[in-house]
Every structure is written in structure tokens, then in C-alpha cells.
A and B are shown apart, each in its own frame.
Chain A
Amino acid sequence: MPPRIRIIAILICIFLVAYVFELVRRRHLNEEYSMGWLVAGSMMLMLSISEGLLVSISNLVGATLFTSTLFFFGLVFLVTICLHFSIRISSLTNQVRTLTQHMGILHSEKQSLEEQVQLNSLGQNPSKLEKL
């Protein structure tokens, strides 16, 4: 692999890993979501630094260019991370949906109870309201 592209790859990977650590330190990124990025950045860094490892893996996957191996694994990591996020978003969507439904029901019940209390305080019979 040409030295220039190797240096650029190493710098980008170091920047990525350092930036992820900084985001976690500032609490802008949860530890849970940092793991994928740290693993991906570290693996790419190892491939960029160790030429022997890159050659072995390139021979294993049949890549003629070493840079292709880097791009290939970078893409694999990104797809994996995107899939993980899709799963998390689906889970969060379901949780938000459940919260929304229960919030709506609780709000309705709260209003009903307030009306009952108001009618009781006025001495009226709240028979028209459904008992909760």
C-alpha cells in the first residue's frame, strides 16, 4: 500500500477513535453506541498499521489492491453499524408508541378524575361519568 494513503488511513482512524472517546467524555454519545464505532475504528487502524495483517487478509479475501481490503472492511463495519442502529430505532419506536398510548390514556383518566372531583365539590352527582 502506498505510504501516503497508509498515513491518511492511520490519521483518519486515530481521529475517529479519539473523537468517539471525546463524545463519550462529553456525554454526547452513550457508551452503548460508542462500542461499534470504537471497534470499527480500532480494526481499521490495525489494518492500516500492520502491513503483514493487511496482506494476509487481502490474500484471504482475494483482493488485488490492499486499499480495496480497507474499503471492503470499512463498508462491512458501516453496514453492521447501520443495521444495529435500525434495530435500536425499531425498539425505540415501539417504546415511544407504547409511552404515547399510555400517556394518552392516563391524561384522559386524569381529566375525568378532575371533573369528578369538581362535580363532587359542587355537590352534583357525577353519574354521567364513567367510573375509573
Chain B
Amino acid sequence: MNQLKLKKTEWVTEQSISLEFLPKEPIIPLRQNVPLDSNHKILIVIPSFNEEASIGQVIREVKENVPETPILVVNDGSVDRTAQIAEECGARVISLPYNSGYGVALQTGYIYALKHNYSLVVQMDADGQHDPTSIQDLLRAVINSDADVIIGSRFLGQDTYRISIARRIGMFVFGKLASLFCQQRVSDPTSGFQAIKGKAIDLIASDHYPPDYPDADFLIMLNRYGFKTREIPVKMHPSKINKSMHDGSQSIYYVFKMFLSIFVTLLRKKPRI
């Protein structure tokens, strides 16, 4: 495929309510009554691992908000009834034979999307953190702008999202790094609520994608590869079961991996996708 052209990135940001350290920027209205472009083949990708308590509700709410849009649940080696519940709720399910991690499950959804010629993918979590009412906002933003990736930020909207001090520090540091290297403000570098279209799907389905924790390093990678990214406010709820893939002993590896990944991403040549 052709080498991706370097493009100028463009971000739309809004005033932060919950994070005081972020600089204040003008609010740009995002809720517009723009009809969704029917030319796009849209897929909702939901990676899930042992989410039997929430997956059914998430799928039902997604169907209410974006009816007729296929939902793909990537069951990441769950040992509970996640896959059965997702199938019963009408989602297509891809079951990985063992737990491979969030990034691998997510990438599987993108490989599927690429294989079946989906031109637009919305990714969201299965634990109910990401409010499906924001999917329409993500879709409108990605369809009606020249951005390749729309990131749903929990810190740009009206809701105040509570996180621990450790995570807040981590998000601050990696948000600043992402902002520095992307040359635009990144308020939520760990958000997994995104809408992605076009060649960016090819990038995620390729070997260039960081499969461990695709966060700030992925945003920097997108920027270096010439993709346009943009943040919009979305509704997010704190996880009911209060677990995170960035907590516990994993957090030490996460910090190490993220610094290393950002460093080597900056050293790498721009690849051919």
C-alpha cells in the first residue's frame, strides 16, 4: 500500500471540569443534528474478559442507540458466561482460546473489520464505563470531520470522573507527553472509547500496533504516521467492579512499557501501512 502522507493534526478540546492541571481552551459545540452518513459500513467492537455482569446491558444499550449496527464482542478467553450472554443479546462473538490481553482482543476486532471491509469502527469497553449514548456523538464527529480517529474524553464533558491519585498522576504525565509529541492537547490518553475510520483501521490491524496497552504511545504513533486525531467529550461512568488493567503490579509494568514504547516510537521511521 502507499506510504501514508504526513498530515497536520487537529484537535478540538473543551474546558476541563475535573482536571485542573489541564489548560483551559475554548469550548466547541459537538452535538449537532447531522445525519449519519449511510455510506460507511460501521462496526462496534467490544473487547471483553469475564464481563458477564455487564455485557448484556451494554449490548442492549448499544442497540438502542445505534440500531441495525453490527456489534462484535471479542471474548478474550473469559471463563464465565460472557460469550453466551453476548450471543443471546444478538452480538457476533469471536472467542480467543485464552486470555491475551486488552490490546490483542481489540486488535482482533480490527482485523475482523478490515477483513470484512468495515470502513468505520467504534471501540468501547464491556464493563459499562462507556456510555452508549455517546456513540452517536463519536460517529457524527468521525463522519463529519477529516479526523481519522475520534477519542472520547471523560474530562471534556459535564461529568466529573473520579480516579485515584496514582492514576491521575499517570494520566497527567502521559497526557503531557502525548500533548507534547502530538503538538496538541490530550486530556484523556487512556480512553478506549474511540471511533476510527479509513486507513487508521489498517494501522491498528497491522504489526505496528502496540498490543499491550495502546494508550499514549498509540496516540503519538498515530500522529507520527500522519493521522488526524480529535477529542470530543463523552459520558463515562466509574467501573462498577472497580478494576482496571492499570492497577496493582501491572501499573509498574505499564509505566515502564509506556515510557519505552513512546521513546522507541519516536526513534522509529515512519512505516508503510
**A and B assemble together:** yes
| A residues lining the B interface (CB < 8 Å) | 94, 97, 100-105, 107-108, 112, 130, 132
Q: Which residues of A contact B94 (CB under 8 A)?
A: 104-105, 107-108
A to B CB contacts below 8 Å, 17 in the list:
A94-B207, A97-B104, A100-B97, A100-B98, A101-B96, A101-B100, A101-B104, A101-B107, A101-B111, A104-B94, A104-B108, A105-B94, A105-B108, A107-B94, A108-B112, A130-B92, A130-B116
Q: How far is the CA of A122 from the CA of B98 in the complex (A)?
A: 34
Q: Between A and B, how many residue pairs show CB distances below 8 Å?
A: 40
> Is there a chain A Cβ closer than 8 Å to B204's Cβ?
no
Residue of chain A at shortest CB distance from B104: A97
Nearest Cβ on chain B to A18's Cβ, whole angstroms: 39
Interface pair B97/A104, CB less than 8 Å apart: yes
Interface pair B92/A100, CB less than 8 Å apart: no
Interface pair B96/A100, CB less than 8 Å apart: yes
* Bitwise interface map of B from 26 to 43 toward A, beta carbon under 8 Å scored 1, else 0: 000000000000000000
Q: How far is the CA of A103 from the CA of B96 in the complex (A)?
A: 8
Q: How far is the CA of A102 from the CA of B98 in the complex (A)?
A: 13
CB contact between A101 and one of B92, B93, B108, B116 (< 8 Å): that residue: B108
Interface pair B104/A107, CB less than 8 Å apart: no
Q: How far is the CA of A69 from the CA of B270 in the complex (A)?
A: 44
Q: Which residues of B contact A94 (CB under 8 A)?
A: 207
15 extra A-B contacts, CB within 8 A, seeds A101-B100, A101-B108, A105-B108 = A94-B207, A97-B104, A97-B211, A100-B96, A100-B100, A101-B107, A104-B94, A104-B95, A105-B111, A105-B115, A107-B94, A108-B92, A108-B93, A130-B70, A130-B116
> Is there a chain A Cβ closer than 8 Å to B150's Cβ?
no
Nearest Cβ on chain A to B152's Cβ, whole angstroms: 25
Q: How far is the CA of A107 from the CA of B108 in the complex (A)?
A: 13
Residue from A101, A107, A112 whose CB has the most chain B CB atoms within 10 Å: A101
Residue of chain A at shortest CB distance from B111: A101
Interface residues on B, range: 10 to 19
Interface pair B116/A132, CB less than 8 Å apart: yes
> Is there a chain A Cβ closer than 8 Å to B74's Cβ?
yes
Q: How far is the CA of A80 from the CA of B249 in the complex (A)?
A: 29
Residue of chain B at shortest CB distance from A96: B100
Nearest Cβ on chain A to B15's Cβ, whole angstroms: 40
Instruction: List B202-231 residues whose CB lies under 8 Å from chain A.
Output: 207, 211
Instruction: List B83-111 residues whose CB lies under 8 Å from chain A.
Output: 92-98, 100, 104, 107-108, 111
* Bitwise interface map of B from 161 to 200 toward A, beta carbon under 8 Å scored 1, else 0: 0000000000000000000000000000000000000000
Q: Which residues of B contact A130 (CB under 8 A)?
A: 70, 92, 116
Q: Which residues of A contact B108 (CB under 8 A)?
A: 101, 104-105
Q: How far is the CA of A132 from the CA of B117 in the complex (A)?
A: 10
Nearest Cβ on chain B to A35's Cβ, whole angstroms: 27
Interface pair B95/A108, CB less than 8 Å apart: yes
- With known contacts A94-B207, A108-B93, A102–B104 Cβ distance under 8 A: no
Interface pair A104/B92, CB less than 8 Å apart: no
Interface pair A104/B74, CB less than 8 Å apart: yes
Interface pair A103/B97, CB less than 8 Å apart: yes
Nearest Cβ on chain B to A117's Cβ, whole angstroms: 17
Residue of chain B at shortest CB distance from A131: B116
Q: How far is the CA of A130 from the CA of B68 in the complex (A)?
A: 11
Interface pair B92/A112, CB less than 8 Å apart: yes
Q: How far is the CA of A102 from the CA of B111 in the complex (A)?
A: 8
